Each structure stands twice: as structure tokens, then as C-alpha cells.
Amino acid sequence: MAYDLIIRNAQLRRKKGTVDIAVEKGVIAQIAKKITGRAGKTIDAKGNLVTESFVNTHLHLCKVYTTQMLDSKALEAYHGGDMGAAMTAIEQAARVKANYNEKWIIQNVRNALKRAAVYGNTHIRAFADVDSKAKLIGLKALLKARDEFKGIVDVQVVAFPQDGVVREPGTADLIKEAMDLGADVVGGIPWIEFTDADEWSHINQMMEIAKTYDADISMLVDDAGDAGLRTLEMLTVRTLEEGRIGRSLAHHARAMALYPMPYFMKLVALLKQAKMGVVSDPHTGPLHARVKELLAEGSLVCLGQDDIADAYYPFGQNHMLEVGFLNVHLLWMTTFPEMEQIYDMITVNAARCINLKNFAIKKGAPAHLVVLDAPSVYEALWYHKAPLHVVSHGKLIDKDAMRV
């Protein structure tokens, strides 16, 4: 038997002893103690951990590497005063879009995606601002990059009305145009509208577009230090009414940290009914969704990178082990079982959140793998080194080419 690729002496998670993994035509063909046969390429994992590759469910890809184009007014507003001025931060951050030009955006996007490849981050849900300032400039850059990186880093492009829908007239039409151009996911940020009625209108308008294009929804909800925000509940209710189970994803939901317990438990029930995941990014703001309590309730939760050097966060490199390491601390998930949960939240849970099918190390599944420079999840998080090898769609990524 001849395979495209064999990885020998691989340590799998929660398994004793090493195995060989054979890949053929993009798919895991066999996993066994010892695989005989030839392969186009053979890798010796030397007992290091081999897992599913990393999945980043939340990245503002049109704005990467723009921190230094602005002053730090947005950062001050977003991170200061218990996130009470998060809306001001969005207004401050919008200034970068006065300079939007596909020429520089596409270069930044390519740099971020190359890093993703090097760090084994093979799947990304990426937001492109679509509004009266950004128009479709960032979106077009992301669509172009999606095609360029096809088979290496899979990019799901979200048409995202960052500055609102009701308060930003014309945006709904631009979102439709973005979907016509080939965007994959309909975005939303209902909590920044000025009234409850406008929040509902925002959600309803985006829901109608999602239905028209049979697209998933990704909305940033309740991203401020305001216990009165309710747009996560509204999105779950609307999703249930439409019967679009598993088609909506909620991001941030930071206000959840301030909710009384009885209301939180109602939300948990609604999220489960709607099969809706929550993406949390505790490293990009001082408040965050109740990740540990959601996990304890059996809810679907994952972690996202959120930002790479933009108006909201000055660091980030599409390195999900780094995101995991940071959040071990921010969430205080320092026991070994908790570290396994953190690892799930940057791999398999994240994959479920963005509806990647059959994302697992098992026979017949698509081969998206990393061979880590560490024998265990514990050491992988501890040193958060780049993987030794990254396999995307059954093909070994040329990391040297990606580093150029």
C-alpha cells in the first residue's frame, strides 16, 4: 500500500503509547500501532503530540497590523473603566477606515495568514468590516486572500456591519452586496444600536439576509460592561423562531459576567436549544463570558484570537497555543483536566462552533493535523512553540515558504 503521507510514532491525546497515521487523498486513511507500506513523505513525530490543527473562530482580518496607524484612544476606551465605554472605542477605531485601501490591507492579510499556517491555525472565521466607511474594500481583500490560501488556511469570510445597521444607513444593502460577491457568513453587532427596537431590527435584517443566502450567522453580542445588554438572548430567540438550529454563533457576550445567576441559567438553556456556541476572547478585554460556568453546564464554548495588532488589542499572531496559554491564566484553568478543556477550545470545540464537519483524528476524517514540539497538552501550552509540522487538507505545509 502506498500513501501520500505517513506520520510515525505519534502521541495522540488521552492515549497510551504511540501510533502511525497514514494520509491518502486528503483524508486520514489509517491509524494503527504500526503501518506498513510506502509513502510519498514520511515524518517521524518522535513521540510528540499529534492533534487536530488549530481553529480560530474570531479574527478581524481586515484590520490586522493597524495598531500603529492610530493613537491609543480606542484601546483606552475599550479596556478602561470596566469596559463601560466600549461603544466609544468602536467609534474611535472606525477612524482607521478613512485610509482603507486594498493594496495595504491585502499585504497585512497575507502576513497574518502566513503566520496562521506556520502556527498550525488551518481554519479561520474572519470578519471584514462592511459599512459606509470601509465599503467593500476590506471584504474584497479577504475574498482574494481566501482564494490564495485555499487548501492551506481555510478562511470563512464574515460580512460584518461593525458600525451598526440601523445607525449606519445603507449597511444592509452593502452586506447583501458582500454576500453576492461570495462572503460566507452574515455578521452582526446588535448591541451597539441605540434602542431595543433598533437591536431587534438589526438582528432581523441580518437574519433575513442569512436566510436568503443560506449562510451561517456570527454576531458580536453584548460586548460592554453593561448588565442591561440582552442581545445574546435576542439572537437565540430569533434563531429558535426561524428553526435555524446550529446556524448562529455568538461572540464576546462579555456582559454575561455581570448577569444574575437565574438569568444566566435561562441563557444556558436557550443556547443549548439553539445549539449555539459562544466564542470568548478574554485576552482582548477585562470582562469575558462565563467560560468555566458554560463548560460546567455542558455548553459549547471556544476561544478566538479576536484581534492582531489593531485598535482593540496590540498583540496577537494567529497562534492559538499562545491564545490558549494566555487564557489558562485569565480563566484560571490551571489543572491538567482544565488544560485539556482549553485545548479543546482552540481545536475541536472551535471547529464545532464554525460548523466544520468531521474535524477529528479518526479514519475517514479530513487530515488537518499538527505535529507539536511537545509530548503533551500541558507542555504544548507551557512553551507554546510553533508545531514541527502542519498538515492541511492532507498536505504538508511548506513552513519555510510561509515564513518568507
In the bound state with Zn ion, the residue whose beta carbon lies nearer, of 154 and 306, is: 306
In the bound state with Zn ion, the residue whose beta carbon lies nearer, of 226 and 306, is: 306
Block residue for cell numbers 458580536: 220
Give the number of other Cβ atoms within 10 Å of residue 265's Cβ.
13
In the bound state with Zn ion, the residue whose beta carbon lies nearer, of 52 and 306, is: 306
Q: How far is the CB of 249 from Zn ion (least distance, A)?
A: 12
Q: How far is the CB of 124 from Zn ion (least distance, A)?
A: 13
Is residue 322 involved in binding Zn ion (CB under 5 A)?
A: no
Q: How far is the CB of 252 from Zn ion (least distance, A)?
A: 6
**Cβ-proximal residue to Zn ion, closest one:** 306
Could you give the CA distance from residue 343 to residue 54 in angstroms, rounded to a whole number? 9
Dump the DSSP string for 186-211: EEE-GGGSSSHHHHHHHHHHHHHHHH
Q: How far is the CB of 237 from Zn ion (least distance, A)?
A: 23
Contact mark string toward Zn ion, 269..308, x via CB under 5 A: -------------------------------------x--
Q: How far is the CB of 87 from Zn ion (least distance, A)?
A: 14
Could you give the CA distance from residue 306 to residue 304 in angstroms, rounded to a whole number? 5
CB < 8 Å & 24+ apart, contacts of 233-238: 233/266, 233/267, 233/270, 234/190, 234/199, 234/200, 234/203, 235/188, 235/190, 235/203, 235/276, 236/267, 236/270, 236/271, 236/273, 236/274, 236/276, 237/270, 238/203, 238/204, 238/207
- Which of the 8 DSSP states describes residue 161? -
Element (H, E) at 103: helix 102-118
Best CA proximity match to 167, nearest among 209, 137, 197, 127: 197
Could you give the CA distance from residue 170 to residue 199 in angstroms, rounded to a whole number? 16
In the bound state with Zn ion, the residue whose beta carbon lies nearer, of 184 and 306, is: 306
Q: How far is the CB of 100 from Zn ion (least distance, A)?
A: 18
Q: How far is the CB of 312 from Zn ion (least distance, A)?
A: 7
In the bound state with Zn ion, the residue whose beta carbon lies nearer, of 131 and 306, is: 306
Best CA proximity match to 385, nearest among 317, 283, 332: 317
Q: How many residues bind Zn ion (CB under 5 A)?
A: 1
In the bound state with Zn ion, the residue whose beta carbon lies nearer, of 89 and 215, is: 89
In the bound state with Zn ion, the residue whose beta carbon lies nearer, of 51 and 92, is: 92
Interface residues toward Zn ion, by CB under 5 A? 306
